[in-house]
Amino acid sequence: MKENRSSVLACVTSQYDCDRIIKTAKKIADDCDCELRVLSILKPTSNYTTVSDQIEYLYLVSKESGADMTVLFHDDAPSAVSEFVKENNVERVVTGMHDGGDDSFLVMFNKLAPKTPITMVAKDNMVYSMELCSECMPVGKK
């Protein structure tokens, strides 16, 4: 990997259907000539057996997309993602949809990194961008 190259970050949870986030982030990264990175934040626990198959699947989807996948163990996902964004030259974050609460991941992340553009991918693969990065073309629908 080139250190100075910008990246697009796919933020995934431990759900199989997060593959849609990785695939959309791959298209955006290709359009922006950016690296693709994948990040999952898991709450620290002593047993990860309930999510191991899902994480393994997302790891394989990441590799097929030419991306590294990082799994971090942290109690505060927005804070962990914000730090990752700062440390890894992330130009855009791609996530699932906002779940509506004032303490949701997206609301809290936006407070910590207000200048980072966010693209959201709905379960039906519709894509919504909150802001366009300077090098990206508008993100279209499915």
Q: Note the pLDDT tens digit of each residue in 106-119.
A: 889 999 999 999 99
pLDDT, average across residues 56-81: 96
pLDDT of residue 3: 55
Which pLDDT tens digit goes with each residue over 75-105?
Answer: 999 999 999 999 999 999 999 997 777 788 9
The tokens of 88 are what?
A: 């890894």
With cut-offs at 50, 70 and 90, classify the pLDDT of residue 47.
confident
Per-residue pLDDT for 142 more than 70? Answer: no
Mean pLDDT, all residues of the chain: 88
Largest Cα separation within the chain, whole Å, is 43
pLDDT of residue 141: 43
- Rounded to the nearest 5°, which phi and psi values hold at 34? -115, 160
Per-residue pLDDT for 134 more than 50? Answer: no
Residues 50 and 20: beta-carbon distance below 8 Å: no
| Cα-only R_g, the chain | 14
With cut-offs at 50, 70 and 90, classify the pLDDT of residue 139.
very low
